[in-house]
Chains A and B, each alone.
Chain A
Amino acid sequence: MTLITEAVAPPAAAAPGRVQVSRGPWATAFRKLRQDKAAMTALGVLVLIVVVCLMAPLYATYVSKTDPFSSNLSGTITVNGEDVAVMQAETEGLGLGTTPIGPTYTGAYFFGADTQGRDVMARLLYGGQNSLLIAGSSTVLTLVLAGLVGIVAGFFGGWVDIVLSRLLDIMWAFPVFLLAISLSIVTISHGLVIGPITISSDSLLLPILIIGLIFIPYVARPIRGQVLQLKRSEFVLAAIGLGVPQRRILVVDILPNVASTLIVFAPLTMALNMITESSLSFLSIGVQSPAASWGTIIEDGQGLLYTRPLVAVLPGIAVVITVVALNVFGDGVRDALDPRAKLRVKD
């Protein structure tokens, strides 16, 4: 590993016999991250959101006792000992309209029902699972592919760089949301068939693939730049001069240095991916019914803004909290792994 190790300087008047401790760069970064209260709070929030969302099946089975994926338009529930219709027809005036039950703040329909009479709270938890899964998986896909493309293009240069860079340029030329929407519309009609692999139109793999692909240029370009820089650094030149095989240089000298950049990108990309997923699902071209994501729930709630605004507001708040937490945590990771960035800000 050729990351410049940071020796923790001994105190000026170190006690005799005290051992001087040298930490690795990752340990130092981790220590810095742990000391960053904002980042740690954000991480705590993220962990809490993930844990709560993972409990969705338990909540639906034991608390709300409803099926969040089935319409319940003619159902009733018992609230304060009274049977109440889930979808309540207006009886006053001309008797127009039907309104889903509002928050009961009890087990079933804690936050009320949506237009299909489904439990909003249960759908929020299941929706969170899908939103987090898509955002997380697509982030991994983006980082792996962008890292690969950036490293290969930057390290090998020549025609490999030309081809890969132009491909990135072409992708970059499309406005990112327009590209996401176009790809979603095309694939959502008939699914995606790649050779023997078929992905159905309602599979979560589709939004994962699309979102994972569209952000590749935004990560691959800085990685390529960093690799070009590293390629000219003394330790790489020395390794080349010593006849170290290219593969070993890539794995031992280049990849670890690029890894910190990729890690800094991870939470920020995940935040971006979560917003993209919500946008696509809001437009009905992301997660498909009856599955839910926070984006689809916002769309479901769009027609209830006047009567049951919580249906749209709650998933919106969930997206905001998650994205803010990811950004704050991402800033903390960046500060921990790239102290110069923080110094620059301070200057």
Chain B
Amino acid sequence: MKPKTRRLSTLASSLLLAATTLSSAQAAESRDALMKEHRGGVMKLNAHGSAGTIDPMINYELQFWQLLSMTNDGLLAFKKVDGAAGNTIVPDLAEELPKPEDGGKTYVFKLRPGLKFSTGKEITTADVVASFERIFKVSSPTAGSFYNGIVGAEACLKDGATCSLKDGVIGDEKAHTVTFHLTTPDAEFFDKLAVPHASILPADTSPKDLGTTPAAATGPYMIQSYDPDHGMKIVRNPNFKEFSVDAQPDGYIDEFDYNFGLDDQAGLTAVLNGQADWTFDDPPSDRLGELGTKYAKQVKVHTLSAYYYVPMNVNLPPFNNAKARQAVAYAVDRKALVGIFGGPNLAAPLCQHLPVGMAGYEPYCPFTKSPGTKWTAPDMEKAKQLIEESGTKGQKVTLIGDDKAIPKSIATYMQGVLRDLGYDASLKTVSHNIQFTYIQNTNNNVQISVTDWYADYPAPSDFLNVLYGCDSFHPASDSSINISGWCDKKVDGDMKQALATAVTDPKAADVMWAKIDKEITDAAPAAALFQPKRVDVISTRVGNFMFNDSFHMLFSQAWVK
């Protein structure tokens, strides 16, 4: 770089810094003004039911992750802002994002000083170490998939009760640092530290599921009471001082009253009547028209990193035959399914396994009338030809659906498709509460099912590696998320390679993920159906509605005054 250029560059940098500082100051000023104007009030939330335990390390439901993201913190967090920027990872209880050391196998986090739990106790490095050991002690649902790469995790997975991560998570109270050692580099390690399962709790927290007892909070709010049959009250955390606007901004609302019991119809009516401010449940499909016309101003629609799909068991006939699986993918009228979900403004046809907007996404659709990048129409002729070639025509097929309105409608439609293809298809509807685990367990001999997948965090591997990786297939287990049982050693190797590449070269990894997506789509262990959107309905008094992929509506950033 030449001197003149350097001077200019220095000048430009100074101006940029000044502008950024000014803009941050303005933002802070404007935020202070907004806080003064809108702070206070009670927001009333509704849901048909609760979502089980409120233990941040165990709960795995979006319904409560929305709440836990504002009551608890990890070392890192997804930025609490509207839109795609919400996928950015920012330091939370840690001061900054650490640089990978030892080729991506070591990370040193420095804790912010002076932070306290809602109990008044200061957060120490011992709490961090204990929290990561607790993940294994309480058998967190992601202990084996997210945190198995920490040195010592393997032993902890075998015997959680005596879990020690002395070589994997090392606290240094003097330096106020925590060092993580991984067995292999993990490009998504930061994502995994930003979900509620990696919340930092006091070291003396019970090593058992907390159930309905709230954990000590670190965010602007804390759960005051929780009764799964009736409701939950969330109040301000008296020991919270805003330490990062990006990671954990202070909230406008004083209190959240979450009521459980009203069904989707009643919950929606309550919001429209101003008796509640928001309802968790999707609006009933017969009221969407009314919402889009009469209450359009209260409706917020957002694309989700999610997809509906039909996993087909590659280890059981008839779908152990690739042609039979491809036939199903060809035969599905995705436009019809979009209609079931609420029409083209609420869903979009999808042929591949990476949804639109995901890193590595490249439009690809081989299973359509004119194969290319876009789905146009089902190709029943081709589908029937494949069925003939597969020699599986006339076989008995049982489709497993769930009993919620939309999944059930999709399953009913899919049963018709299978019959049209020449199968003796029957539909078994299983309760929504157990369907997802039922279809995972190979003991249930599920041939084909209808389900959906919502990203835990915005990464292509969360769709491809998690759903189709060999490591995700666990025969005879309720926790075998590779529902199809598809394990292609070559593709699996490619995925591992992509994960490793992402540590140093995320862009190159994205190119690899795009190729893997195509390979999986071609092999058709599952037929992708469509990418859904989320409809939120809010009361007229709710302001500053913000939504991001990770936690959907950001309650702490909304106001009711």
Contact = CB atoms under 8 A, between A and B. Distances in A.
Interface of A: 69-71, 73-74, 87, 89-90, 92-99, 115-116, 188-189, 200-202, 284, 288-290, 302-308
B345 A94 contact: yes
B230 interface: no
Contacts of B291: 94, 96-97
Given A89-B339, A306-B286, A96 B412 contact: no
17 contacts: A90-B288, A92-B289, A93-B293, A94-B299, A96-B291, A96-B299, A97-B285, A97-B346, A99-B289, A200-B426, A201-B426, A284-B408, A289-B412, A290-B412, A303-B409, A305-B286, A307-B289
Interface string B285-319: 11111111110100101000000000000000000
B115 interface: no
Interface in B383-430: 403, 405, 408-409, 412-413, 415-416, 419-420, 426-429
A51 B336 CA distance: 35
A94 B296 contact: yes
B284 interface: yes
A306 B333 CA distance: 26
B427 A289 contact: yes
A293 to B, nearest CB: 15
Nearest to B378: A74
A200 B427 CA distance: 12
Contacts of B405: 302-303
Given A73-B336, A89-B339, A116-B413, A96 B286 contact: no
Contacts, number: 118
Among A87, A94, A189: residue with most chain B CB under 10 A: A94
A215 to B, nearest CB: 26
By DSSP majority rule, is chain B's interface helix, strand, loop, or mixed?
A: helix
A288 B427 CA distance: 7
B340 A73 contact: yes
A290 B414 CA distance: 11
B contact residues, range: 35 or more
Nearest first, the 6 A-B pairs at minimum CB distance are A97-B288, A73-B336, A96-B292, A94-B292, A93-B293, A97-B289
B104 interface: no
A288 B293 contact: no
A92 B409 contact: no
Contacts of B416: 69-71, 116, 290
A95 B337 CA distance: 16
Given A73-B337, A92-B289, A96-B299, 14 more contacts: A71-B413, A90-B293, A94-B291, A94-B299, A96-B292, A97-B346, A98-B288, A115-B409, A116-B413, A288-B427, A290-B415, A303-B284, A303-B285, A303-B405
Given A93-B292, A97-B292, A289-B427, A116 B343 contact: no
B426 A96 contact: no
B286 A308 contact: yes
B344 interface: yes
Contacts of B342: 96-98
A112 B343 CA distance: 19
A90 B346 CA distance: 11
Contacts of B292: 90, 92-97
B304 to A, nearest CB: 15
Contacts of B408: 284
Contact of A304 (B286, B345, B413): B286
Given A115-B409, A116-B413, A306 B343 contact: no
A304 B285 CA distance: 8
B417 to A, nearest CB: 8
B523 to A, nearest CB: 27
Contacts of A290: 412, 415-416, 419, 427
Contact of B344 (A89, A188, A303): A89
Contact of B335 (A69, A74, A116, A189): A74
Nearest to A189: B428
B535 interface: yes
Contacts of A69: 416
B104 to A, nearest CB: 45
A115 B405 CA distance: 10
A96 B336 contact: no
B285 A73 contact: no
A98 B412 contact: no
Given A71-B336, A96-B343, A98-B343, A90 B289 contact: yes
Q: Which of A96, A188, A305, A307 has the most CB of B within 10 A?
A: A96
A302 B285 CA distance: 11
A73 B339 contact: yes
Given A96-B299, A288-B427, A306 B412 contact: no
A69 B416 CA distance: 8
Nearest to A302: B405
A96 B409 contact: no
B340 A202 contact: no
Given A303-B284, A307-B286, A188 B343 contact: no
Contact of A96 (B337, B345, B429): B345
Given A94-B301, A284-B429, A116 B412 contact: yes
B128 to A, nearest CB: 45
A115 B336 CA distance: 11
Contact of A89 (B296, B343, B409): B343
Contacts of A202: 426-427
Contacts of B288: 90, 96-98
Contact of B343 (A71, A95, A304): A95
Nearest to B288: A97
A214 B301 CA distance: 49
Nearest to B427: A289
Contacts of A74: 333, 335-336, 339
A172 B246 CA distance: 64
Given A89-B339, A116-B413, A290-B415, A188 B290 contact: no
A314 to B, nearest CB: 16
A305 B269 CA distance: 14
Nearest to A191: B426
Contacts of A289: 412, 415, 427, 429
A224 B296 CA distance: 66
Interface in B249-288: 284-288
B341 to A, nearest CB: 8
Interface string B312-340: 00000000000000000000010111011
Interface in B423-448: 426-429
B535 to A, nearest CB: 7
Contacts of A116: 409, 412-413, 416
Contacts of B419: 70, 290
A304 B287 CA distance: 9
Contacts of B335: 74
Nearest to B337: A73
B428 A95 contact: no
Contacts of A308: 286
Given A305-B286, A306-B284, A307-B286, A92 B413 contact: no
A85 to B, nearest CB: 9
Contact of B339 (A98, A200, A302): A98
Contacts of B301: 94, 96
B153 to A, nearest CB: 37
A307 B342 CA distance: 13
B428 A201 contact: yes
B289 A115 contact: no
A269 B291 CA distance: 45
Contacts of A307: 286, 289
A130 B429 CA distance: 20
Contact of A87 (B339, B420, B429, B535): B339
A290 B289 CA distance: 27
A303 B428 contact: no
Contacts of A73: 333, 336-337, 339-340, 413
A116 B7 CA distance: 69
A87 B344 CA distance: 12
